[in-house]
Amino acid sequence: MSALAPGLLGYTFRWSIVPEVMGELAHGVRITLELSGLSVVFALALGLLVALARGSRLAPLRIAAYVYIQLFRALSLYIYVLWIYFGIAAAVGVNLSPLEAGVIALTFLNSAYMAEIYRSALGAVDRGQHEAAFSLGFSRPRAFATVILPQAIRVAVPSLVNQFVDIVKDSSIVAIVGTSDLMGVTTQLVGYYRAPFELYTVLAGFYLSIVLLISAAAAVLERRLQRHLR
Amino acid sequence: MIGYNANWNPVFQHWHEFLLGAWLDVWVTLISFVLACLLGVAVALLRLSGLRLLAWPAFAYVQLVRGVPLLVFLYWVYFGLAIVAGLAFSGVEAAIVALTLTGSAYTAEIFRAAVSSVDRGHPEAATALGFTRRATFVHVVFPQALRIALPPLGNTLVGLLKGATLISAIGVSDMVFQAQQINLSYFTPFEPFTAVAVLLVALVAVVSLLLTGLERALRLP
Amino acid sequence: MTAAAETRATAAADVVRAEGINKWFHRGHAHELHVLRDVDLRVARGEVLVVIGPSGSGKSTLLRCLNFLAPPDTGSVTFLGETLSRESVPRFSVGARLDYERRLRHFRTQIGMVFQHFNLFPHMCVLDNVAAAPVRVLGLPKREARERALAELERVGMAGKARAYPSQLSGGQKQRVAIARALAMRPQLMLFDEATSALDPELIGGVLDEIRKLADAGMTMIVVTHEMGFAREVGDRLVFMDEGRIVEEGPAREVLAAPRSGRTQEFLRAIL
C-alpha cells in the first residue's frame, strides 16, 4: 500500500519508503548529536581560553588570540575538514577517521566564534559593576567570578545557543568525507532507493526539528536566567 | 612535520585553474547575494505588513530556511528537485538557488530588524509634512534602514562566500574541486588544501576590507 | 603648641590626604585631556567635605583617585597614615606590583563608595548584594555576614526588601541598599559620587536623609553633589572645583553665602 501519488510533472512520489528508513535515520541523528555535542563542549572550553588570552594584559597573548580568531573566522568548515582529514593527517602521519576530523574541525572553528561571543558578553557588562566590585575591595579574579562572569553568562547564552544550532547544521558537511551521521546515512539511502526528493525533504525536516527543539529549549533557559535582570 | 616532504609543484602548475575556480566561487556568491537581498526585502516587507495572512507565512519561511543546512539544500535542489521537475540543473544553477535560499533567511531578518529600528519619529515627521506612506518608506525609512543593515549584510555576504566552498560537492569546478583533483592526481593532500585555505582567507579579507571601506564611505558625519 | 607640632597633630587627625594629584585621560594621544591639575585635598576625622562644581570639572575623577578606581598619574594618597602612589611603583617588578595591588585592596576595604547609578549587582538579591563583600573580601562566615547585612539594611530602612532583586526596587531604594552595601564593610571614609543625581525628585529627600544620619553619627565623608541645601546644612567644609583645579575652599556655609572667587560666584548664581 504505497502512497503513489502522481506529481505535478508526472513524477511518482514514493513517500512510503520513509517509514522503512526511519530506524537508520534515527541512528544517523544520534551520530549527528554526538558529533555536535562533543564539538560544542570542546569549543566552549577552548573558546573561553582564547577569550581570556584576547583580554589578557600581555600583548603577545592578545595578538596571538586576535590572529587565531580572525584566521578561523575566515575559513569555511568544508575546507577546514578537507584540510584536516586529508592534508594534516598526511603531513603529521596519523590516520584520522572522518568523525575525528569532523570533531577537530568543528571544535577549532567554533572556538573562534565562541571567543568572540564571550568577549562581547563581557563587554556588555556595565562598567559600573567593575567599579562597584573594586570599590568594595574585590580582587580582580574574585570580582570576575562573583560579579562579572555571572552577568556575562546570562548575556552570552542566546548567542552561544545560536552557535550550537550552527554547529548542528554544519555537522552535515562532515558526511561528504564519509561519516554516517544524519546527512551521510541519507545520502547512502538515496543511493539505494533512488528517491532523492523524498529522502532529502525528510532530511530537511529532521534538521529543522532538531533546530526548533534546541531553540525552544534555549528560549526557556534564557527566560529563567534573565528573570531578575531587567 | 615528521618526515613529510612538501611538494608544491602541482599547486603552482595548476595555479591558473585555482584562480578560475576561485573566480567561479566569487561570482556565484555575488549573484546569490543579490538575489538573496531581493528575496529578503520581499519577505521582510511581508512580515512588516502587519497583515497576519501575509506576515505569518513569511515568518514560517524564515524559520524553515534557517533550520536547514546549506548542504541539504544543495542536494535537495540538485538531486531532488531536478528529478521531480524533470529538469537537469547544472551544478552552478543549483548552487545559486541553494545559496539564495539560505541567504534570504538571513537578509529577510536583517531588513526586518533594520526597518524596525529606524527611529519612529522620522516617518511621523514625514507624514506630518504630507508624504504618502509609500513615499515615506522609499525616501525616509529605507535609506536609513539600508545604512543600519549594511554591516550585518556584509557578514551575510562573507557567510555566503564561505558557503560557496561547498558547491564542489555537487560537481562544480570551483577552487575546492581543483584541490581535490590535484590530490587525486598527484597524491599530495597537504599542499592543495592549504592553498585553497589561503585563497579563501585572502578572499574573505579582501571582501571584509571592501565592506569596511563602504561602511565608512556611507557613514553620516 | 608649635606650628610644626600643630601641623603634625592636624595631619594625624586627617583620615585622607591627597597631594599633588594630576590625572590625564588618553595621555600621550592627540585628544589628551588634563582632568585633574595639581590637586591637594585633606579631610579630617568626622568631617563632611562637600565638593561642588560644573560637570567636567573633575569632581568624580577626584573621588575615584582617592580609592584608586582611577589611579592618579602623579601624586600620592595617604589614608590613615598609609601612603599609596601609583607613579612610584616600578613597572617591571612583579613583586612590587602585587604588593601595590594588595595594599590597594586593603585601602578599598576601608573606603566605601556610593555611585550615581547605584551599580547594585543585578543577579543577586538585596541581602546578597550587601553580604557579598564581607564574605568574599573580608572572609566573614556567611551567617555573620548576613546578620551584619540585615543590620545595615535595617539602618537604611530596607530590611523588609532583603529578598527582593534590584530590578524590583525604585531608584531611591536601590541607592539606600547601595549605602548599606558600602557600610557593611565598616569603612573609615565614605565617598558619595552625585548619589542623588539619577533619582526622581521625590526620592532625593529619602537618600539625603540617610546621608545626613551618617554624618550625624560621625562618619567621615566626601560628598560630590548639586544639592546646595544639603551642602549648607550638612557640610562642614566645601570645595569648589573648576576645570580640574580646586578654585575655592572653606567652611561650607561661608563659601555658599559669600564666595570669594568670580568663578564660584558665577557657578552658584547659575545653580541657585
pLDDT at residue number A44: 94
Interface test with A, best of C121, C168, C190 (most A CBs within 10 A): C121
C7 band by pLDDT with thresholds 50, 70 and 90: low
Ordered by where they begin, the domains of chain C are 14-119+189-271 (3.40.50.300)
Run of H or E residues at C193: strand C189-193
Task: Name the least confident of A5-14, A121-130, B211-220.
Answer: A5-14
Query: Does A95 lie at the interface with C, CB-CB under 8 angstroms?
Result: no
Sole residue written with cell 592543495: B192
User: C-alpha cell of B8?
Assistant: 608544491
Query: Which chain C residues touch A131 with a CB distance below 8 Å?
Result: 64, 69, 113, 115, 119
pLDDT at residue number C271: 81
Q: Under an 8 A CB cutoff, do B196 and A93 touch?
A: no
Query: Does A80 lie at the interface with B, CB-CB under 8 angstroms?
Result: yes
A1 has a pLDDT exceeding 50: no
pLDDT at residue number A5: 47
The C-alpha atoms of residue A4 and residue A15 are separated, in whole angstroms, by 8
Query: Does A46 lie at the interface with B, CB-CB under 8 angstroms?
Result: no
Residue partners of B217: CB distance under 8 A and separation at least 6: none
B71 has a pLDDT exceeding 60: yes
Q: Under an 8 A CB cutoff, do C69 and A131 touch?
A: yes
pLDDT at residue number B32: 97
Contacts of range B213-218, beta carbons closer than 8 Å, 24 or more positions apart: B214/B150, B214/B154, B215/B150, B215/B151, B215/B154, B218/B147, B218/B150
pLDDT at residue number B4: 66
The C-alpha atoms of residue C111 and residue C64 are separated, in whole angstroms, by 11
For residues C143-162, give the mean pLDDT. Answer: 94
Query: Which chain A residues touch B67 with a CB distance below 8 Å?
Result: 169, 204, 207-212
Contact between residue C247 and residue C241 where contact means Cβ atoms under 8 Å apart: yes
For all residues of chain C together, what is the average pLDDT? 90
Fold of B12-218: MetI-like fold (1.10.3720)
C214 has a pLDDT exceeding 90: yes
| Residues B168-205: tens digit of each pLDDT | 999 899 999 999 888 888 888 888 888 899 999 999 99
Which DSSP state fits C245?
E
pLDDT at residue number C2: 65
What is the pairing mode between strands C82-84 and C74-79? antiparallel
Share of chain A above pLDDT 70, in %: 94
Query: Which chain B residues touch A74 with a CB distance below 8 Å?
Result: 162, 200-201, 204-205
Q: Under an 8 A CB cutoff, do B72 and A87 touch?
A: no
Residue C136: how many other CB atoms lie within 10 Å: 20
A6 has a pLDDT exceeding 60: no
User: C-alpha cell of B170?
Assistant: 555537487
Interface test with B, best of A82, A166, A181 (most B CBs within 10 A): A82
Query: Which chain C residues touch A228 with a CB distance below 8 Å?
Result: 122-123, 165-168
Q: Under an 8 A CB cutoff, do C113 and A135 touch?
A: yes
| Identity of the residue in C113, C123, C137 whose CB atom sits nearest the CB atom of A151 | C123
| Residues A21-51: tens digit of each pLDDT | 899 999 999 999 999 999 999 999 999 999 9
Contact between residue C120 and residue C178 where contact means Cβ atoms under 8 Å apart: yes
Query: Which chain A residues touch C118 with a CB distance below 8 Å?
Result: 128
Contact between residue C195 and residue C234 where contact means Cβ atoms under 8 Å apart: no
Shortest Cα distance, chain A CAs vs residue C213, angstroms: 22
Ordered by where they begin, the domains of chain A are 21-225 (1.10.3720.10)
| Identity of the residue in B81, B84, B196 whose CB atom sits nearest the CB atom of A79 | B196
Q: Under an 8 A CB cutoff, do A128 and C111 touch?
A: no
Task: Name the least confident of A4-13, C31-40, C59-68.
Answer: A4-13
For all residues of chain A together, what is the average pLDDT? 89
Query: Which chain B residues touch A79 with a CB distance below 8 Å?
Result: 165, 176, 193, 196-197, 200
pLDDT at residue number B139: 81
For residues C30-53, give the mean pLDDT. Answer: 92
Sole residue written with cell 529532521: A206
The domain spans of chain B are 12-218
pLDDT at residue number A4: 44
Shortest Cα distance, chain A CAs vs residue C5, angstroms: 34
Chains C and B touch (3+ CB pairs under 8 A): no
Chains A and C touch (3+ CB pairs under 8 A): yes
For residues C195-224, give the mean pLDDT. Answer: 93
Which range scores top for mean pLDDT: B189-193, C82-86, C102-106, C166-170?
Answer: C166-170
pLDDT at residue number A16: 87
Higher pLDDT, B6 or B74: B74
Residue partners of C119: CB distance under 8 A and separation at least 6: A126, A128, A129, A131, A132, C178
